[in-house]
Amino acid sequence: MKCDICSAKIETTFLGKIRGTYVRDAKGKQKAACFECQRKLVTKE
């Protein structure tokens, strides 16, 4: 699977789950994000 933000490959576990997370964009759609993009998208609320 690839990161929807930077197109880097996201590792998967043996069960097929991604080793990353899903984030929602402004329209509410889920996008897969790698570890590097997760660090960039951190918000402090």
- Cα(33)–Cα(38) distance, rounded to whole angstroms? 6
Domain boundaries along the sequence of the chain: 1-45
Tens-digit pLDDT profile for residues 1-45: 888 888 888 888 889 888 878 888 788 888 888 888 888 876 655
| pLDDT for the residue numbered 40 | 80
Q: pTM for the full model? A: 0.61
In 18-40, which positions are buried (b, 16+ CB within 10 angstroms) versus exposed (e)?
eebeeeeeeeeeeebbbeebeee
| pLDDT for the residue numbered 35 | 84
CB 22 within 8 Å of CB 31: yes
